């Protein structure tokens, strides 16, 4: 990949093993990009990459429950994030659920790809579209759906 991405990495406590394993597996790719992480995740990612003698451009925000998810959501709104990987613990309630939903929503509203599992993260980082000069992601359309306008027939 020729393009340098700014990638947000976020993982809940019960998913940190997954994110670190994913980071190590993809360390040669991540070494070429800028990383933005929430607090503990960032510290663990930095240590995991340093153990492989990889020291990417990296920014560590606050812990998720202390505003880190909100800080990254603000970066999404300002178009400072190209891709987010957010491994969510769907099996346990989170004290900062509103911030989690805000980050997910801002990625959807601002058309930032967000992977919530390792498989989708792998698919996203290996996409040829990152370097396709002719590909321009279409902004989401928030308008009333008119079936007749599109000539769609109900079966």
Q: Which residues are catalytic?
A: 69
Q: What are the φ/ψ torsions at residue 141 (nearest 5 degrees)? A: -105, 120
Distances (CA, A) of 120 to 86, 115, 137, 143: 11, 5, 18, 28
Q: Which of 17, 10, 21, 24 is nearest to 88 (CA)?
A: 10
């Amino acid at each position: 990949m020729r393009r340098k991405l700014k990638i947000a990495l976020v993982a809940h406590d019960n998913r940190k093993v997954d994110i670190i394993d994913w980071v190590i597996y993809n360390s040669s790719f991540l070494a070429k990009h800028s990383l933005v992480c929430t607090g503990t995740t960032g510290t663990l990612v930095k240590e995991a990459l340093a153990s492989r003698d990889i020291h990417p451009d990296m920014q560590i925000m606050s812990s998720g429950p202390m505003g880190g998810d909100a800080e990254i959501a603000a970066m999404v709104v300002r178009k400072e994030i190209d891709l987010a990987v957010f491994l969510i613990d769907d099996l346990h309630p989170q004290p900062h659920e509103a911030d989690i939903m805000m980050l997910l929503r801002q990625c959807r509203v601002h058309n930032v790809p967000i992977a919530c599992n390792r498989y989708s993260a792998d698919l996203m980082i290996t996409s040829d579209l990152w370097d396709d000069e002719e590909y321009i992601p279409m902004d989401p359309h928030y308008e009333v759906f008119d079936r007749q306008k599109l000539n769609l027939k109900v079966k």
